[in-house]
């Protein structure tokens, strides 16, 4: 067979794919600043996740929330649950957009259940941009 397959990619496709997996070129100052932002969001995300876990697995059982249907305790517990879930989603979303915009691939959209987790975002950033040397002066990074 002498037939050859040829594929034509849209302009910028290969460079966008490269940036997604290897990161974009940035100065150490930019990397340090963005890592500090990402680290702040990630620490807040972990804090909110811990509160959410406590609320669902300890508070809910101790206060027997479901036994108090239509009482203030029931409404408070559900309102608090919703607030924590919304805050957790917003922090995850901020981390996602920070990473893809820093990579230069800003065209992707966020979906809480169809994108990488907050932990994966944090590790992906560290893997792409903090591979060989820690960015000091912007907050110490330890592997």
Question: Average pLDDT for residues 69-85, to the nearest whole number?
Answer: 95
Question: Of 100, 101, 81, which is closest to residue 89 (Cα–Cα)?
Answer: 81
Q: What secondary structure letter does DSSP report for 10?
A: P
CB 80 within 8 A of CB 105: no
pLDDT number for residue 125: 92
Round to whole Å and give the CA distance between 78 and 63.
12
pLDDT at 18: 67
The pLDDT score that the predictor gives to residue 1 is 65
25-45 confidence digits (pLDDT tens): 888 999 999 999 999 999 999
Percent share of the chain, pLDDT over 70:
83
Bigger pLDDT: 68 or 25?
68
């Amino acid at each position: 067979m002498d037939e050859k397959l040829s594929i034509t990619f849209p302009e910028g496709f290969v460079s966008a794919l490269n940036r997604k997996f290897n990161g974009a070129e940035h100065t150490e100052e930019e990397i340090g600043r963005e890592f500090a932002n990402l680290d702040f969001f990630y620490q807040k995300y972990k804090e909110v996740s811990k509160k959410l876990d406590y609320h669902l697995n300890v508070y809910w059982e101790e206060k027997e929330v479901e036994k108090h249907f239509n009482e203030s305790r029931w409404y408070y517990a559900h309102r608090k649950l919703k607030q924590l879930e919304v805050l957790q989603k917003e922090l995850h979303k901020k981390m996602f957009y920070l990473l893809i915009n820093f990579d230069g691939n800003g065209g992707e959209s966020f979906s809480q259940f169809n994108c990488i987790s907050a932990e994966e975002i944090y590790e992906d950033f560290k893997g792409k941009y903090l591979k060989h040397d820690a960015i000091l002066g912007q907050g110490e990074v330890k592997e």
